[in-house]
Amino acid sequence: MSVVNDIVRGADRVLIQERGPGVPEGIYGAECMSCEAVSPLFDDDSLPVAVWALQHSQDRPDHTLFLARTECHWRVVPRPDDPPPAASSGSDFLGPAFVGLMCLLTALSGLLPALTS
Ligand SMILES: [Zn+2]
Residue 96 forms part of a structural domain: yes
Which burial class, exposed, middle or buried, applies to 56 when counting CB atoms under 10 A from its CB (0-12, 13-18, 19+)?
buried
**Predicted pLDDT of residue 103:** 63
**Predicted pLDDT of residue 7:** 76
Least confident of 14-23, 33-42, 79-88: 79-88
Residue 12 forms part of a structural domain: no
**Alpha carbon of 117 to ligand 1 centroid (Å):** 78
Residue 63 forms part of a structural domain: no
**Alpha carbon of 17 to ligand 1 centroid (Å):** 32
Amino acid at 7: I
**pLDDT grade for 81, boundaries at 50, 70 and 90:** confident
Residue 10 forms part of a structural domain: no
Residue 111 forms part of a structural domain: yes
- pTM (2 d.p.): 0.58
Least confident of 13-27, 43-57, 60-74: 13-27
Domain range for 104 is 88-117
**pLDDT grade for 99, boundaries at 50, 70 and 90:** low
**Alpha carbon of 43 to ligand 1 centroid (Å):** 22
Report the domain count for the chain: 1
